[in-house]
Amino acid sequence: KQEVTQIPAALSVPEGENLVLNCSFTDSAIYNLQWFRQDPGKGLTSLLLIQSSQREQTSGRLNASLDKSSGRSTLYIAASQPGDSATYLCAVTGNTGKLIFGQGTTLQVKP
């Protein structure tokens, strides 16, 4: 059974810092991995999707890497801003397309 773990559960940093969020999964037979952002009381916003054949994806200040063989992904956020404060969720896609989510990392960026 696929399990997804995210570390740390919570993170507080001053504005401007670069930071890394970690995600690990137990079964390397995945189709892709997605990073989502969730704001309180709102739905999910997809940030980056990495196909299983890819190593990384970049969007603006965000960079996500995938090491499928070791079951790890990282989300790198450069020059963090208070507006980046949210919960970040990692999810892997299995053979039916359904997403298996980690518990999330709650990020607070202090001005």
Partner 1 sequence: GAGVSQSPSNKVTEKGKDVELRCDPISGHTALYWYRQRLGQGLEFLIYFQGNSAPDKSGLPSDRFSAERTGESVSTLTIQRTQQEDSAVYLCASSLNPLRFGGGPYEQYFGPGTRLTVT
Query: Closest CB to partner 1 among 42 and 60?
Result: 42
Q: Which stretch binds partner 1 (CB under 8 A): 18-26, 41-49, 64-72, 73-81?
A: 41-49
Residue 51 contacts partner 1 per CB under 8 A: yes
Query: Binding partner 1 by CB under 8 A: which of 46, 59, 70, 81?
Result: 46
Strand order in the sheet with 56-59: 4-7, 19-25, 72-77, 62-67, 56-59
CB of 23 to partner 1, least distance (A): 12
d(CA 43, CA 36): 10
Residue type, 26: T
